[in-house]
Structure 1
């Protein structure tokens, strides 16, 4: 794999430290001079990393004061599970790949029309099941235009974030999108994968997600068992 530019590596390190709580909201990041010594780089490299953090809302830069941590901004377009009976612990949620990423031809993306460029390029298709406390609760089907995503299939998406992968390896971030919600009955496949009876009421969410790369969209279909858990998130 192609190595990330040095400023990008520093950005990823600082971003991770902010999201993990190493740097809490209101605290100061090390000075530019300190980070130059820490990472053995020049100030322009540090400033490029800080510019990215500022743009994404992780820090505020004040002349004479330094870089003040705002905290991790709420992700856009990510749906998370919340229990209807008790607080959720994210460590209880696992992701299993049931269809590995593969190139496919496509004419549309779920209920969304695709451009001629997307159609000609084909898509990268894969399926994952979200498992909570050993119980499958979400079938997540993803279709990505096969445009500018070299070696995507070589990455392991087991218990990994697709959005983090796209951001760190391809500089693609989700900025918003549209979604459609359907109340449907479980078919034979949902019955098999989610361990529910056929005809059981389930929620289907079709999403088209916009990104910072012009003309590049992510498409997904989420099928969720909501009898015990709800979905939450910003979009």
Structure 2
């Protein structure tokens, strides 16, 4: 299914979602027990590491992240089934809900209700992972294959394999390079801002996702 906005608006929205992923994975990995809330491949590997005594990895954070991600993915799949006949409403609802939860999490962290360690950190991991499960479940229906917003393995593979030095197809590299740079910029900005604040980094990611939701609802089709 295509996105009901012009191509430039579409690419901008998906690159924004990719940058938000970088911001939040900076929070989750650097502040929430070395786990990811958007990249589940990493969490499966961390679960394997945690089995070995003395590895320095804990079972709790990646387990909670995987559970939250699955929950968000289920909700995203349900939303797609119910609303896909109305794509603007569907994308607006899905990404609007994601943005609202991120902004709420940022507020609660800033207010000291949720913390980076202890019991409430698991609530935060669960909520953030659910946000990105929802994002992934939605994006997989509508995004071009080189704008996945969370996983760059296939993006890097395609960039190299389809280049002149690879298969020779010389496919346009710009969107793939944009995805890589967006993730890099989000992660770098997150790591830098985390030296001062965690709540505002989460809130910033929420604002970026809210902007993407607004694009899908309001941007022109052509």
Q: TM-score range by the shorter chain?
A: under 0.3
TM value normalised by structure 1 = 0.25
Is the helix fraction higher in 1 or 2? Answer: 2
Q: Flag the structure with more relative contact order, 1 or 2, with Cα contacts below 8 A and sequence separation at least 6.
A: 2
Larger-Rg structure = 1
TM value normalised by structure 2 = 0.26
Is the strand fraction higher in 1 or 2? Answer: 1
